[in-house]
Amino acid sequence: MANVDPDIQSRLLAQMRSPRLVALDSMNYWITHKRRALLKLLKKVDIYVANDQEARSLSGENNLIRAAKRLYRQGPRMVLIKKGEHGLLFYTSQFIFSLPAYPTDKIVDPTGAGDTFAGGFMGYLAKTKQINEITLKKALVYGTLAASFNVEDFGINRTMRLRLKDLEERLVKFKKCVLF
C-alpha cells in the first residue's frame, strides 16, 4: 500500500480478500497529522516500510535498531527501514538484515528509488512460493538492484528498459562488493 492517507489505506485493505502479504508505506505528513490512524493500521499489515527519517519520527528513537524494534512492537511482523545511499535495515523477530546500497556514482535522478526498491522487493516475493529468511533477503537484494538502475536516468526511463538479465548481471557485481 503506497503512501496515501492512512484512512484510505485502511479502507483499501478492508476490500482485499485474504492478501498473502501486505506492505505499507507512509510519509512524514501522515506520521505527523494522522499518527493515531497510522499506528492503528500498522497492527494489520505484515511489513511496515519507512525511510530512516520516518522511522525515527514515528518511533521517537534515534538509533535505527531501537526504532525498528519499537515499530515492530506496534504490530507489523516485519519492519523495513530504507536508508538511501546507505542501504537498508530489515527487522523481524527471527533475524536482522543490514544491506548496503549498490555502490554507484552514476546517479542522475534519485527520485523514485524507494518506490522502485519496494516494487523489486514485492515483485520478487510475489514470484516466490515461500516467504522465509532466504527469500526475504533475496527480495531485499533484488529491490536494491532495481533501485540502483532507476537512479541512472530521469523518471522511469531506465527502469522501463530494465530486463531480468540486467539484474542478474548486476547481482554478480553486487556480491563482489558486499560479500566476504
Sole window of 4-12, 28-36, 89-97, 157-165 interacting with a copy of itself (rule: CB under 8 A): 89-97
CB of 96 to a copy of itself, least distance (A): 5
Phi, psi angles (nearest 5°) of residue 78: -145, 150
Amino acid at 152: E
Of 168, 13, 141, which Cα lies nearest the Cα of 87?
Answer: 141
Q: Please, which residue, 43 or 180, has the CB nearer to a copy of itself?
A: 180
- Contact between 128 and a copy of itself by CB under 8 A: the answer reads no
DSSP single-letter state for residue 84: G
DSSP single-letter state for residue 81: E
CB of 72 to a copy of itself, least distance (A): 12
State which of residues 40, 97, 122, 128 lies at the interface with a copy of itself (CB under 8 A).
97
Q: What is the secondary structure of 94-110 as a DSSP string?
A: S-EEEEPPP--S--S--
Binding-site ranges for a copy of itself (CB under 8 A): 63-66, 69, 83, 85-87, 89, 95-101, 103-105, 107, 134, 137-138, 140-141, 176-180
